[in-house]
Structure 1
């Protein structure tokens, strides 16, 4: 598991989440710990290194 910091696409606060580096490609929804809005996370690893990370807002 790796901790990754980024800016929430809803409230613009800096937050961090634990990412599972044992899975090569992941796409899932996680709520912001500050504003509780959903964030769609797209994460990709190559040989244990984070190669791509996207955090997009989901309109409610």
Structure 2
């Protein structure tokens, strides 16, 4: 079973649960918000001790 992380949509602010593939140390992908359907850039990194860090940004955020 894949672990999940809760994030807030950078557009509408609604909480969203993302299932995370923790077998990969670094991944970046686009996930559409389940509420407002806008594209969220998701960056997932896994630390040395297995901790998962998820950053969610709007499409035009740097």
Smaller-chain TM-score range? 0.7 to 0.9
| CA-based RMSD | 1.1
Normalised to the residue count of structure 2, the TM-score between the two structures is: 0.84
Kindly tell me the number of residue pairs found equivalent between the two proteins: 58
Normalised to the residue count of structure 1, the TM-score between the two structures is: 0.87
Stretches of structure 2 that go unaligned for 5 or more consecutive residues are: none
Aligned to 1:11: 12
Stretches of structure 1 that go unaligned for 5 or more consecutive residues are: none
Greater fraction strand? 1
